[in-house]
Amino acid sequence: MSENRRVVVTGIGAVTPVGNNVKETWENLKAGKCGIGSITLFDTEKFKAKLGAEVKNFNPREYLEVNDVLRTDRYAQFAVAAAQQAVEESGIEGTVQPERFSVWFGTGIGGINTFETEHTKLMERGPRRVSSLFVPMMIANMAAGMIAIRHDCRGTAMPAVTACASGSNAIGEAMRLIRHGYADAVITGGSEAAISPSAVAGFVNMQALSTSENPEEASLPFDKRRGGFVIGEGAVALILEEYEHARARGAKIYGEVCGYGSTCDAYHITAPHPEARGGAQAMTDAMAEAGYSENDRVYINAHGTGTPMNDVLETIAIKKAMGEEAARRAYVSSTKSMTGHMLGAAGAIEALVCLYVLNEGVIPPTINLKEQDEECDLNCVPNTAVEADIDLALSNSLGFGGHNACLAFRKV
Active site residues: 164, 303, 341
SS3 367: coil
β 298-301/331-333 pair status:
parallel
CB 345 within 8 A of CB 168: no
DSSP 268-299: -SSSPPTT-HHHHHHHHHHHHHTT--TT--EE
Query: Which conformational region is residue 222 in: left (phi greater than 0), alpha (psi within -120 to 50 degrees), or beta?
Result: left
Please tell me the distance from the alpha carbon of residue 283 to that of residue 8, in angstroms, as a whole number: 20
Q: What amino acid is encoded at 351 in this protein? A: A
H helix or E strand, kind and range, residue 247: helix 243-248
CB 231 within 8 A of CB 200: yes
Cα separation values, 184 from 89, 137, 177, 323, Å: 17, 29, 8, 36
Q: What amino acid is encoded at 103 in this protein? A: V
Distance, C-alpha 245 to centroid of its chain: 26
Contacts from 295-298 at CB under 8 Å and sequence distance 24+?
295/391, 296/391, 296/392, 297/388, 297/389, 297/390, 297/391, 297/392, 298/322, 298/326, 298/329, 298/330, 298/331, 298/390, 298/391, 298/392, 298/393, 298/394
Distance, C-alpha 318 to centroid of its chain: 19
Q: For 21-93, where are the E strands, in sequence order?
A: 37-38, 51-52
Q: Which of 405, 318, 407, 408 is nearest to 108 (CA)?
A: 405
217: exposed, middle or buried (Cβ count in 10 Å: 0-12, 13-18, 19+): middle
